[in-house]
Protein backbone atom coordinates (compact mmCIF):
# COMPACT_ATOMS: atom_id res chain seq x y z
CA UNK A 1 0.00 0.00 0.00
CA UNK A 2 1.40 3.37 -1.03
CA UNK A 3 1.65 6.15 1.52
CA UNK A 4 -0.97 8.87 1.40
CA UNK A 5 0.37 12.19 0.03
CA UNK A 6 0.75 14.80 2.76
CA UNK A 7 -1.79 17.22 1.18
CA UNK A 8 -4.42 14.46 1.35
CA UNK A 9 -3.51 13.80 4.99
CA UNK A 10 -4.09 17.49 5.72
CA UNK A 11 -7.48 17.44 4.04
CA UNK A 12 -8.47 14.42 6.12
CA UNK A 13 -7.48 16.21 9.33
CA UNK A 14 -9.46 19.29 8.31
CA UNK A 15 -12.47 17.02 7.79
CA UNK A 16 -12.15 15.70 11.35
CA UNK A 17 -10.88 12.27 10.31
CA UNK A 18 -8.30 10.05 11.98
CA UNK A 19 -5.00 9.48 10.16
CA UNK A 20 -2.27 6.91 10.83
CA UNK A 21 1.36 7.99 11.15
CA UNK A 22 4.27 5.56 11.51
CA UNK A 23 7.74 6.50 12.68
CA UNK A 24 11.20 5.19 11.86
CA UNK A 25 12.07 1.52 12.41
CA UNK A 26 15.15 2.71 14.26
CA UNK A 27 13.13 4.82 16.68
CA UNK A 28 9.92 3.54 18.31
CA UNK A 29 8.90 1.58 15.19
CA UNK A 30 5.20 2.00 15.82
CA UNK A 31 2.19 3.80 14.43
CA UNK A 32 -0.12 6.32 16.02
CA UNK A 33 -3.67 7.35 15.35
CA UNK A 34 -3.71 11.13 15.03
CA UNK A 35 -6.57 13.60 14.76
CA UNK A 36 -7.37 17.21 15.62
CA UNK A 37 -8.49 17.59 19.24
CA UNK A 38 -11.03 20.22 18.25
CA UNK A 39 -12.91 17.55 16.24
CA UNK A 40 -12.76 14.78 18.87
CA UNK A 41 -16.11 13.04 19.40
CA UNK A 42 -17.36 10.14 21.48
CA UNK A 43 -17.27 7.95 18.37
CA UNK A 44 -13.74 8.86 17.26
CA UNK A 45 -12.30 8.46 20.75
CA UNK A 46 -14.08 5.11 21.18
CA UNK A 47 -12.44 3.89 17.95
CA UNK A 48 -9.04 5.09 19.10
CA UNK A 49 -9.42 3.42 22.51
CA UNK A 50 -10.51 0.15 20.89
CA UNK A 51 -7.56 0.06 18.50
CA UNK A 52 -4.82 1.44 20.74
CA UNK A 53 -3.16 0.91 24.10
CA UNK A 54 -5.89 3.14 25.55
CA UNK A 55 -3.48 5.87 26.65
CA UNK A 56 -4.63 9.02 24.87
CA UNK A 57 -2.23 11.92 24.67
CA UNK A 58 -2.78 15.48 23.52
CA UNK A 59 0.30 16.93 21.80
CA UNK A 60 0.27 20.72 21.70
CA UNK A 61 2.42 23.72 20.93
CA UNK A 62 4.36 25.40 23.71
CA UNK A 63 2.15 28.50 23.45
CA UNK A 64 -0.95 26.46 24.25
CA UNK A 65 0.72 24.54 27.08
CA UNK A 66 1.89 27.80 28.63
CA UNK A 67 -1.54 29.40 28.31
CA UNK A 68 -3.15 26.41 30.02
CA UNK A 69 -0.45 26.31 32.71
CA UNK A 70 0.70 22.80 31.85
CA UNK A 71 4.33 22.51 32.99
CA UNK A 72 6.37 19.40 32.34
CA UNK A 73 5.60 16.51 34.67
CA UNK A 74 9.13 16.13 36.03
CA UNK A 75 12.15 18.42 36.05
CA UNK A 76 14.62 15.66 35.10
CA UNK A 77 13.18 13.65 32.19
CA UNK A 78 14.52 10.09 32.19
CA UNK A 79 12.43 8.96 29.21
CA UNK A 80 14.78 7.73 26.47
CA UNK A 81 12.83 9.71 23.83
CA UNK A 82 12.57 12.80 26.07
CA UNK A 83 8.81 12.98 25.51
CA UNK A 84 7.65 16.14 27.29
CA UNK A 85 4.80 14.80 29.42
CA UNK A 86 2.83 17.35 31.44
CA UNK A 87 0.31 16.96 34.23
CA UNK A 88 -2.75 14.93 33.25
CA UNK A 89 -6.06 16.79 32.95
CA UNK A 90 -9.82 16.53 32.67
CA UNK A 91 -12.29 19.20 31.66
CA UNK A 92 -13.41 21.13 34.74
CA UNK A 93 -17.07 21.05 33.72
CA UNK A 94 -19.32 18.61 31.89
CA UNK A 95 -17.52 15.35 32.66
CA UNK A 96 -18.38 12.54 35.07
CA UNK A 97 -15.50 10.15 35.81
CA UNK A 98 -13.38 11.61 33.03
CA UNK A 99 -12.47 8.22 31.55
CA UNK A 100 -15.38 7.57 29.17
CA UNK A 101 -15.01 8.27 25.46
CA UNK A 102 -17.43 11.19 25.68
CA UNK A 103 -15.63 12.66 28.71
CA UNK A 104 -12.23 12.37 27.08
CA UNK A 105 -13.55 13.90 23.86
CA UNK A 106 -14.86 16.88 25.83
CA UNK A 107 -11.52 17.33 27.59
CA UNK A 108 -9.76 17.29 24.22
CA UNK A 109 -12.19 19.88 22.86
CA UNK A 110 -11.44 22.12 25.84
CA UNK A 111 -7.69 21.76 25.30
CA UNK A 112 -8.07 22.81 21.66
CA UNK A 113 -10.33 25.78 22.35
CA UNK A 114 -8.25 28.99 21.97
CA UNK A 115 -10.39 30.67 24.63
CA UNK A 116 -9.73 27.99 27.26
CA UNK A 117 -7.71 28.99 30.32
CA UNK A 118 -6.06 27.07 33.13
CA UNK A 119 -9.14 26.90 35.37
CA UNK A 120 -11.13 25.21 32.57
CA UNK A 121 -9.14 22.08 33.48
CA UNK A 122 -8.67 20.00 36.62
CA UNK A 123 -5.53 18.09 37.51
CA UNK A 124 -4.93 15.13 37.54
CA UNK A 125 -7.17 13.64 34.89
CA UNK A 126 -7.43 11.13 32.08
CA UNK A 127 -5.82 12.96 29.15
CA UNK A 128 -2.04 13.30 29.00
CA UNK A 129 -0.92 16.52 27.29
CA UNK A 130 2.49 16.57 25.59
CA UNK A 131 4.62 19.62 24.79
CA UNK A 132 5.98 19.70 21.24
CA UNK A 133 9.36 21.31 20.60
CA UNK A 134 9.24 24.56 18.65
CA UNK A 135 11.20 23.17 15.70
CA UNK A 136 8.70 20.38 15.03
CA UNK A 137 9.75 17.12 13.34
CA UNK A 138 12.79 18.83 11.84
CA UNK A 139 14.11 19.18 15.40
CA UNK A 140 12.61 16.07 17.01
CA UNK A 141 11.14 13.36 14.72
CA UNK A 142 8.44 12.15 17.11
CA UNK A 143 4.69 11.67 16.91
CA UNK A 144 4.17 14.62 19.26
CA UNK A 145 5.83 17.00 16.81
CA UNK A 146 4.31 15.26 13.77
CA UNK A 147 0.81 15.85 15.10
CA UNK A 148 1.39 19.54 15.86
CA UNK A 149 3.15 20.16 12.54
CA UNK A 150 0.32 18.51 10.59
CA UNK A 151 -2.30 20.53 12.45
CA UNK A 152 -0.43 23.79 11.86
CA UNK A 153 -0.11 22.92 8.18
CA UNK A 154 -3.85 22.25 8.07
CA UNK A 155 -4.61 25.60 9.70
CA UNK A 156 -6.14 23.97 12.77
CA UNK A 157 -5.69 24.50 16.50
CA UNK A 158 -2.22 23.10 17.37
CA UNK A 159 -3.63 20.53 19.79
CA UNK A 160 -3.92 16.95 18.64
CA UNK A 161 -5.00 13.49 19.74
CA UNK A 162 -2.50 10.65 19.51
CA UNK A 163 -2.53 7.04 20.67
CA UNK A 164 -0.29 4.11 19.83
CA UNK A 165 -1.99 1.46 17.69
CA UNK A 166 -1.71 -2.14 18.92
CA UNK A 167 -2.45 -5.59 17.48
CA UNK A 168 -5.18 -7.82 18.88
CA UNK A 169 -2.59 -9.47 21.13
CA UNK A 170 -1.61 -6.10 22.59
CA UNK A 171 1.77 -5.77 20.85
CA UNK A 172 2.70 -2.63 18.95
CA UNK A 173 1.37 -2.69 15.40
CA UNK A 174 4.13 -2.43 12.80
CA UNK A 175 3.91 -1.19 9.22
CA UNK A 176 2.34 -4.31 7.64
CA UNK A 177 -0.46 -4.22 10.19
CA UNK A 178 -0.87 -0.46 9.82
CA UNK A 179 -1.24 -0.85 6.06
CA UNK A 180 -3.98 -3.46 6.54
CA UNK A 181 -5.77 -1.28 9.11
CA UNK A 182 -5.57 1.80 6.88
CA UNK A 183 -6.99 -0.17 3.97
CA UNK A 184 -9.76 -1.69 6.09
CA UNK A 185 -10.82 1.64 7.64
CA UNK A 186 -10.11 3.77 4.55
CA UNK A 187 -7.72 5.91 6.58
CA UNK A 188 -4.80 7.97 5.30
CA UNK A 189 -1.41 6.48 6.20
CA UNK A 190 1.90 8.33 6.20
CA UNK A 191 5.19 8.35 8.08
CA UNK A 192 7.20 10.86 10.07
CA UNK A 193 9.94 10.51 7.46
CA UNK A 194 7.51 11.44 4.67
CA UNK A 195 6.42 14.49 6.67
CA UNK A 196 10.05 15.54 7.17
CA UNK A 197 10.71 15.22 3.43
CA UNK A 198 7.62 17.28 2.67
CA UNK A 199 8.56 20.02 5.13
CA UNK A 200 12.08 20.23 3.74
CA UNK A 201 10.53 20.99 0.35
CA UNK A 202 7.57 23.02 1.67
CA UNK A 203 8.73 24.64 4.95
CA UNK A 204 6.23 25.99 7.42
CA UNK A 205 6.24 29.75 7.94
CA UNK A 206 8.56 30.79 10.74
CA UNK A 207 6.94 30.23 14.09
CA UNK A 208 5.64 33.49 15.51
CA UNK A 209 5.87 33.71 19.27
CA UNK A 210 2.43 34.15 20.70
CA UNK A 211 0.74 33.61 17.35
CA UNK A 212 -2.49 32.67 19.15
CA UNK A 213 -2.21 35.59 21.58
CA UNK A 214 -2.39 38.68 19.38
CA UNK A 215 -5.64 39.64 21.10
CA UNK A 216 -4.44 38.54 24.53
CA UNK A 217 -5.53 41.71 26.35
CA UNK A 218 -8.49 44.05 26.04
CA UNK A 219 -8.22 47.71 27.06
CA UNK A 220 -11.13 48.54 29.37
CA UNK A 221 -10.70 51.94 31.03
CA UNK A 222 -8.35 54.84 31.80
CA UNK A 223 -8.52 57.12 34.84
CA UNK A 224 -6.25 59.40 36.90
CA UNK A 225 -5.19 58.34 40.41
CA UNK A 226 -3.22 60.56 42.82
CA UNK A 227 -0.56 58.67 44.83
CA UNK A 228 2.32 59.46 47.15
CA UNK A 229 4.61 59.20 44.12
CA UNK A 230 2.54 61.51 41.93
CA UNK A 231 -0.65 61.43 39.89
CA UNK A 232 -0.65 58.67 37.30
CA UNK A 233 -2.93 57.59 34.49
CA UNK A 234 -4.17 54.09 35.22
CA UNK A 235 -5.03 52.04 32.14
CA UNK A 236 -6.97 48.88 32.98
CA UNK A 237 -6.64 45.78 30.80
CA UNK A 238 -8.42 42.44 30.96
CA UNK A 239 -6.37 39.36 30.16
CA UNK A 240 -8.53 37.21 27.88
CA UNK A 241 -6.47 34.11 28.59
CA UNK A 242 -6.38 34.17 32.39
CA UNK A 243 -9.31 36.48 33.17
CA UNK A 244 -6.96 38.59 35.30
CA UNK A 245 -6.96 42.40 35.30
CA UNK A 246 -3.62 44.15 34.71
CA UNK A 247 -2.78 47.85 35.06
CA UNK A 248 -0.52 50.13 33.04
CA UNK A 249 0.57 52.97 35.35
CA UNK A 250 1.53 55.87 33.07
CA UNK A 251 3.49 59.02 33.93
CA UNK A 252 3.55 61.91 31.46
CA UNK A 253 3.07 61.24 27.77
CA UNK A 254 5.62 58.64 26.76
CA UNK A 255 6.14 58.23 23.03
CA UNK A 256 6.57 55.10 20.98
CA UNK A 257 10.34 54.78 21.26
CA UNK A 258 12.84 54.41 24.10
CA UNK A 259 10.22 54.56 26.86
CA UNK A 260 11.26 53.92 30.46
CA UNK A 261 9.25 50.80 31.42
CA UNK A 262 9.03 48.52 34.42
CA UNK A 263 7.17 45.18 34.14
CA UNK A 264 6.30 44.50 37.77
CA UNK A 265 4.81 41.27 39.12
CA UNK A 266 2.16 41.49 41.82
CA UNK A 267 3.56 40.71 45.29
CA UNK A 268 1.10 40.89 48.19
CA UNK A 269 3.73 40.09 50.81
CA UNK A 270 6.26 42.62 49.58
CA UNK A 271 3.89 45.48 48.73
CA UNK A 272 1.00 45.28 51.19
CA UNK A 273 2.75 43.56 54.11
CA UNK A 274 6.21 45.10 53.52
CA UNK A 275 7.88 41.69 53.76
CA UNK A 276 11.65 41.80 54.10
CA UNK A 277 12.10 38.48 52.29
CA UNK A 278 12.03 40.18 48.87
CA UNK A 279 12.65 43.60 47.34
CA UNK A 280 9.35 43.88 45.44
CA UNK A 281 7.83 46.72 47.46
CA UNK A 282 10.88 49.00 47.23
CA UNK A 283 11.25 48.14 43.54
CA UNK A 284 7.67 49.23 42.82
CA UNK A 285 8.09 52.48 44.75
CA UNK A 286 11.39 53.27 43.05
CA UNK A 287 10.01 52.46 39.59
CA UNK A 288 7.07 54.83 40.13
CA UNK A 289 9.44 57.54 41.34
CA UNK A 290 11.70 57.07 38.31
CA UNK A 291 8.98 57.24 35.66
CA UNK A 292 7.52 60.32 37.37
CA UNK A 293 10.95 61.99 37.38
CA UNK A 294 11.80 61.10 33.79
CA UNK A 295 11.24 64.15 31.52
CA UNK A 296 9.66 61.89 28.91
CA UNK A 297 7.52 59.98 31.40
CA UNK A 298 7.28 56.23 31.51
CA UNK A 299 5.16 53.19 32.31
CA UNK A 300 4.97 50.60 35.07
CA UNK A 301 3.03 47.52 34.02
CA UNK A 302 1.53 46.00 37.17
CA UNK A 303 0.95 42.36 36.26
CA UNK A 304 -1.52 40.62 38.52
CA UNK A 305 -1.61 36.87 39.01
CA UNK A 306 2.19 36.61 39.04
CA UNK A 307 2.69 36.19 42.78
CA UNK A 308 5.88 34.29 43.61
CA UNK A 309 7.23 34.42 40.04
CA UNK A 310 3.92 33.03 38.85
CA UNK A 311 3.41 30.09 41.23
CA UNK A 312 0.71 31.77 43.33
CA UNK A 313 0.46 33.02 46.90
CA UNK A 314 -0.12 29.70 48.71
CA UNK A 315 2.64 27.98 46.74
CA UNK A 316 4.93 30.89 47.59
CA UNK A 317 4.26 30.24 51.28
CA UNK A 318 5.04 26.55 50.73
CA UNK A 319 8.31 27.58 49.09
CA UNK A 320 9.06 29.83 52.06
CA UNK A 321 8.52 26.85 54.36
CA UNK A 322 11.06 24.81 52.40
CA UNK A 323 13.48 27.74 52.50
CA UNK A 324 13.23 27.67 56.29
CA UNK A 325 14.43 24.05 56.03
CA UNK A 326 17.51 25.06 54.04
CA UNK A 327 16.50 25.12 50.36
CA UNK A 328 17.07 28.26 48.32
CA UNK A 329 14.33 30.04 46.36
CA UNK A 330 14.99 28.09 43.16
CA UNK A 331 15.32 24.62 44.66
CA UNK A 332 12.23 25.20 46.81
CA UNK A 333 10.13 25.73 43.68
CA UNK A 334 11.58 22.65 42.02
CA UNK A 335 10.99 20.55 45.14
CA UNK A 336 7.31 21.49 44.91
CA UNK A 337 7.21 20.35 41.29
CA UNK A 338 6.94 23.95 40.12
CA UNK A 339 9.06 25.87 37.60
CA UNK A 340 11.71 28.27 38.85
CA UNK A 341 9.84 31.05 37.04
CA UNK A 342 6.31 30.47 35.73
CA UNK A 343 5.63 34.00 34.52
CA UNK A 344 4.26 34.69 31.04
CA UNK A 345 5.04 38.10 29.54
CA UNK A 346 2.70 37.90 26.55
CA UNK A 347 0.10 40.15 28.15
CA UNK A 348 2.74 42.72 29.12
CA UNK A 349 4.03 42.91 25.55
CA UNK A 350 0.50 43.26 24.18
CA UNK A 351 -0.23 46.09 26.64
CA UNK A 352 2.85 47.97 25.44
CA UNK A 353 1.85 47.41 21.82
CA UNK A 354 -1.65 48.70 22.55
CA UNK A 355 -0.11 51.93 23.86
CA UNK A 356 1.99 52.29 20.72
CA UNK A 357 5.24 51.57 22.56
CA UNK A 358 7.75 49.86 20.29
CA UNK A 359 11.05 50.14 22.17
CA UNK A 360 11.83 50.51 25.86
CA UNK A 361 14.53 51.05 28.44
CA UNK A 362 13.63 48.22 30.77
CA UNK A 363 13.79 48.84 34.52
CA UNK A 364 14.98 45.37 35.49
CA UNK A 365 17.94 43.29 36.59
CA UNK A 366 16.56 40.23 34.79
CA UNK A 367 17.85 39.49 31.24
CA UNK A 368 15.22 36.76 30.85
CA UNK A 369 12.51 39.40 31.10
CA UNK A 370 14.22 41.22 28.25
CA UNK A 371 14.31 38.05 26.13
CA UNK A 372 10.66 37.32 26.78
CA UNK A 373 9.51 40.79 25.73
CA UNK A 374 11.70 40.72 22.63
CA UNK A 375 10.03 37.47 21.56
CA UNK A 376 6.78 39.39 21.25
CA UNK A 377 8.18 42.27 19.22
CA UNK A 378 9.19 44.80 21.90
CA UNK A 379 12.67 46.18 21.25
CA UNK A 380 14.79 46.57 24.39
CA UNK A 381 17.34 49.39 24.26
CA UNK A 382 18.98 48.29 27.49
CA UNK A 383 18.38 47.23 31.07
CA UNK A 384 18.22 50.00 33.68
CA UNK A 385 19.34 48.56 37.06
CA UNK A 386 16.82 48.55 39.88
CA UNK A 387 18.82 47.61 42.97
CA UNK A 388 16.83 48.59 46.05
CA UNK A 389 15.43 46.97 49.17
CA UNK A 390 18.50 44.96 50.17
CA UNK A 391 18.50 43.71 53.75
CA UNK A 392 19.57 40.91 56.06
CA UNK A 393 16.49 38.79 55.26
CA UNK A 394 16.81 38.80 51.45
CA UNK A 395 20.53 38.97 50.64
CA UNK A 396 20.70 35.18 50.17
CA UNK A 397 17.60 35.27 47.96
CA UNK A 398 19.15 37.99 45.80
CA UNK A 399 22.44 36.11 45.58
CA UNK A 400 20.55 33.09 44.19
CA UNK A 401 18.81 35.31 41.64
CA UNK A 402 22.23 36.56 40.56
CA UNK A 403 24.20 33.30 40.69
CA UNK A 404 21.59 30.78 39.52
CA UNK A 405 18.98 32.79 37.61
CA UNK A 406 21.20 35.21 35.71
CA UNK A 407 20.04 38.48 37.26
CA UNK A 408 22.45 41.36 36.78
CA UNK A 409 23.29 42.19 40.37
CA UNK A 410 26.58 43.24 42.02
CA UNK A 411 29.07 40.56 43.02
CA UNK A 412 28.68 41.44 46.69
CA UNK A 413 25.26 42.28 48.08
CA UNK A 414 25.64 43.95 51.46
CA UNK A 415 22.63 44.31 53.71
CA UNK A 416 21.73 47.99 53.29
CA UNK A 417 18.63 49.99 53.88
CA UNK A 418 16.23 50.55 50.93
CA UNK A 419 16.53 54.34 51.11
CA UNK A 420 20.33 54.13 50.98
CA UNK A 421 20.21 51.70 48.06
CA UNK A 422 17.87 54.00 46.15
CA UNK A 423 20.26 56.92 46.61
CA UNK A 424 23.17 54.82 45.39
CA UNK A 425 21.32 53.74 42.25
CA UNK A 426 20.16 57.21 41.33
CA UNK A 427 23.27 59.15 42.31
**Residues acting as catalytic residues:** 341, 343
H/E/C letters for each residue in the chain? Answer: CCCCCHHHHHHHHHCCCCEEEECCCCCCCCEEEEEEHHHCCHHHHHHHHHHECCCCEEEECHHHHHHCCCCECCCCCCCCCCCCEECCEEECCCCCCCCCHHHHHHHHHHHHCCCCCHHHEEEEEEEEEEECCCCHHHCCCCHHHHHHHHHHHCCCCCEEEEEEEECCCCCECCHHHHHHHHHHHCCCEEEHHHHHHHHHHCCCCCCCCCCCCCCCEEEEEEEEEEECCEEEEEEEEEECCCCCEEEEEEECCCCCCCEEEEEEECCHHHHCCCCCCCCHHHHHHHHHHHHHHCCCCEEEEEECCCHHHHCCHHHHHHHHHHHHCCCCHHHHHHHCCCCCCCCCCHHHHHHHHHCCCCEEEEECCCHHHHHHHHHCCCEEEEEECCCCCCCCCCHHHHHHHHHHHCCCCCCCCCCCCHHHHHHHHHC
- Parallel/antiparallel/unpaired status of strands 31-36 and 19-22: antiparallel
CA gap 337, 322 in Å, rounded? 13
Q: How far is CA 308 from the centre of its chain?
A: 16
Amino acid sequence: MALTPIPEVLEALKAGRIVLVADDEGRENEGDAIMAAEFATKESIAWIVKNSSGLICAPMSRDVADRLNLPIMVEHNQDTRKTAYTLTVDAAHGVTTGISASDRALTLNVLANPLSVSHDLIRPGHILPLRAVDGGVLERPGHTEAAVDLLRMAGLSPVGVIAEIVDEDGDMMRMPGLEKLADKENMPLTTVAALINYLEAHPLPARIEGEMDKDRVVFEVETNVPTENGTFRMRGYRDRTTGTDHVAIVAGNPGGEDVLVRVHSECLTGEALHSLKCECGPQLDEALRMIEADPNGGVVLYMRGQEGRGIGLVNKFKAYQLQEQGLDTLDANLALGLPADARDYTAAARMLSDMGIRSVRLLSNNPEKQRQLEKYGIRINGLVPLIVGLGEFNTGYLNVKRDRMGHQLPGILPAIEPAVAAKEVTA
